[in-house]
Amino acid sequence: MEHNEAVLLNPAPADGAQGGAPLLHRTGVCCHGGAKMAVLAYSLGKREINQHFTIKNAKLISLVLVSLLIVFHTASRYYGGGDSCEWLLSKGRYLGENVWQPYGCMMHKYKSNEANNCLTPKRVVFVGDSRIRQLFYSFIKIIDPEQREVGNKHEDISFLHKSSSVNVEFLWYPEANNSMKERLISWTHEGSLKPDVVILGAATWSIKLRSGSSETLQQYKVNLTAIAVHLEKLADHGEVYWVLQDPVNEEVLSEDRKMITNQQLEQYNEAAADVLNRNGRSRIRLLAAARQAALETIAQSDDGLHLPESTRNVGAMILMNSMCNNKLRPIDGSCCQTVPPPTLVQKLSAFFFLASAVLFVVLHVLGNNHQRRHVPPDVESLEEKKPATAGAAPGPKELFKALGRMGIIMGYFYLCDRADVFMKEQKFYTHSTFFIPLVYIIVLGVFYYENSKETKFLNREQTDEWKGWMQLIILIYHVSGASAFLPVYMHVRVLVAAYLFQTGYGHFSFFWLKGDFGLYRVCQVLFRLNFLVLVLCAVMNRPYQFYYFRPIGHLLKKANGSGFWHLGILAKLLGLLTVICIFAFSQGFFEHIFAVWPISTFFELNGSVHEWWFRWKLDRFVVIHGMLFAFLYLVLQKRMVLFEGKGDALFSPTISNVLLFLSVVSFITYSIWASSCKTKTECNEMHPYISVVQILAFILIRNIPGYARSVYSSFFAWFGKISLELFICQYHIWLAADTKGILVLIPGNPSLNILVSTFIFVCVAHEISLITNDLAQVIIPKDNVALLKRLGAVGVFTLGVLLLSRGSHKTPGA
């Protein structure tokens, strides 16, 4: 990301600045001087920013922030009652219409089969008035969506699911009185059939029948005190919930309900909270979040008393999450989930990184200071400048230092997405959450536009820029949940395809020009692609396929320029295309091949290769497209058909204009099609065949005009250099719950939270990129004999791990 400022600081004289009338001369000098000063201020402003805000300083700030946030969240949970079940039941907010977000955790939306799996063979009993009956109906509709509200109003109702033994009952007890107490006592007797879950609530009838007198409130407290004793006994056997009273819309209430006021209901809620949770250790759970949701929707009530169905559904889903999350452990249901103990592999990983840190300290204390000389940072690019000459090979101290740094970072990963330290929230898409950040990054990208060092077609600075802005858009897409908006989904699918297109184009071009497919280079590339993924598989206990990518094979040697050689390359590409088509048109054959052990270990996700099939099928041709395009470009370049000089159009004026026009039309046409597509299934079927249209259109628009090849955005290019780390790290330290939610470091302030978490996330990704490069220099020797020995050792170790893993999976069924 180094750049040339000579043109900016010393712009050529304007045409009108020399000759002509004196007035014209003075005007030209004035304008020229003003433009020069503006450009100078713009350049110096960027330099001033980068002078004080280097990547090293940014990482120190992020380290301090992480330390403070860990202390803050740990203290908050220890002293402030940081139970996610309590958060689920007590407070939350609406993200949008009918989308409820509990405070600090994620609420899973349960389907019928999941609810039956959780509740079988439980007995769930709702006890209370007509509003509890509404909650009962919303609850059983989760179990059986076809269920209708058919019971009589003031009678008991029983529900038994046909295909399971889930039993849910509603018992009509509109007041918290002796009748309700007697029913509870009957369940506490020895040998009686006790319910597994009891949900109770009552108050409005007491207010209505006695006109809201103060004596009634006092009697309510007395009755609750007597009832609480038996509820505690029932809590020994199962779960007990007391539903706090929802508000009413006083203006809509009928005359015989006018005495039910929100002030009265608040007093009854305070009484219930005081009696049922007097010492703070009660096992009776208070459901207050449903009341908070009702505060925002009670105006939609038809009679002012009973809640709209959408609000009742929120209360029912809260109850389902409270009962089932810890049993079924849905990845997007973090509320009420306890943290599972670390696996053996996770423990061994922690020991390995800790031992590496200890060994580094020991070597440092013993005075083993053989290190590479300090490399000063490049102020403009925030990157470290490479030394002019390579130093001595890194020693063991550098190895253990890099592993120690990696261990600290992996500790942060674990705390973010496996430990119960930081909060998580679910995603919710709105157009503003995607397009406003998109505008921000475009402005920043333009602010950092610089002159390129070279003007070749798809030069390195331009491809880094391309990867950078694509990665930033993909990050915004993931954090905003924009996959829910089909046009954005389809355009992001093109960006993913463009990454693979670049892979095919870049490797093909490299091997064409260099012919370097030596073992050392192959291992370097594979190490960079896989190191972080394999570490995360161990530390985060995720399968390899979870962090999917697609490798490219070896198809050519260094070009020799003969026509037969060109035909040989095309024949290889045609052979590869044939293999791809065979796999694509036979899913059974594909799954049979990749389901064979030990290959299946790398391609299965949740015991199936279907996800790998889906991802592969979407972009199965795009690497071939990239390689073919590289072949065409390199042939045209060799025949000197292209003009790649500074300021020159890529082709002759006529051809350039025609291709540019066709590219713009193709780009817009694809966007129109993507915006009009009806379903994801329909779009995905067409995507493998037409995604290359928009990719090629962008490449030509970006490269045909000479001025477009002469500039690039150093901002985007910087992110492009760490795009792989950004893509993988987002899974756990920017998003949460394995990408299903959003990590919350700053609760209560979503905007500040996303700024802080993004800052830390980018610093971590950059540091991992440096660590990966450092380790590659130590672990992968240039000597082929030594490299083969290490590969053999890695192969034996990997086979041992796979055999142990396979054995452990078979043990439960033995």
Long-range contacts from 265-268, C-beta under 8 angstroms, 24+ separation: 265/203, 265/204, 265/207, 267/217, 268/203, 268/206, 268/207, 268/217, 268/220
Q: State the amino acid at position 646 in one-letter form.
A: K
SS3 741: strand
- Among candidate residues 130, 164, 282, 483, the one labeled active-site is 130
- Among candidate residues 156, 302, 303, 516, the one labeled active-site is 303
Among 551, 536, 530, residue whose Cα is nearest residue 724: 530
For every residue of 441-480, DSSP letters joined together read HHHHHHHTEEE-S---TT-HHHHHHHHHHHHHHHHHHHHH
The single-letter DSSP state of residue 484 is: G
Annotated catalytic residue 306: yes
Q: Which two tokens stand for residue 114?
A: 């999941």
What are the residues whose beta carbons fall under 8 Å from the beta carbon of 145, sequence distance 6 or more?
A: 112
The single-letter DSSP state of residue 15 is: G
Tell me: cis bond preceding 394? Omega within 30 of 0 counts.
no
Element (H, E) at 431: helix 431-447
In angstroms, the CA 406 to CA 775 distance is 10
The DSSP bridge pattern shows strands 157-160 and 735-736 to be unpaired
In angstroms, the CA 661 to CA 680 distance is 30
Q: Which residue has the tokens 């433009």?
A: 35
- Among candidate residues 25, 32, 237, 306, the one labeled active-site is 306
Neighbours of 588 (CB within 10 A): 7
CB-based burial, 592-622: b 16+ in 10 Å, e otherwise: eebeeeeebeebbbeeebebbbebbbbbbbb
Cross-strand bridge partners of residue 201: 128
In angstroms, the CA 96 to CA 103 distance is 15
In angstroms, the CA 28 to CA 13 distance is 9
Four-residue CA torsion sign, 713, 715, 718, 722: negative
> 275: exposed, middle or buried (C-beta count within 10 Å: 0-12, 13-18, 19+)?
buried
Contact 146, 159 (CB under 8 A): no
The single-letter DSSP state of residue 190 is: T
Beta strands in 115-191 (DSSP E): 123-128, 157-160, 167-172
The runs of H, that is alpha helices, within 722-749 are 723-733
SS3 540: coil
Contact 54, 763 (CB under 8 A): no
Cross-strand bridge partners of residue 286: 242
460-480 helix and 431-447 helix, angle to the nearest 10 degrees? 160
Annotated catalytic residue 196: no
Among 301, 325, 322, 315, residue whose Cα is nearest residue 133: 315
Q: Which two tokens stand for residue 751?
A: 């905007």
Any idea which residues carry the catalytic annotation? 130, 303, 306
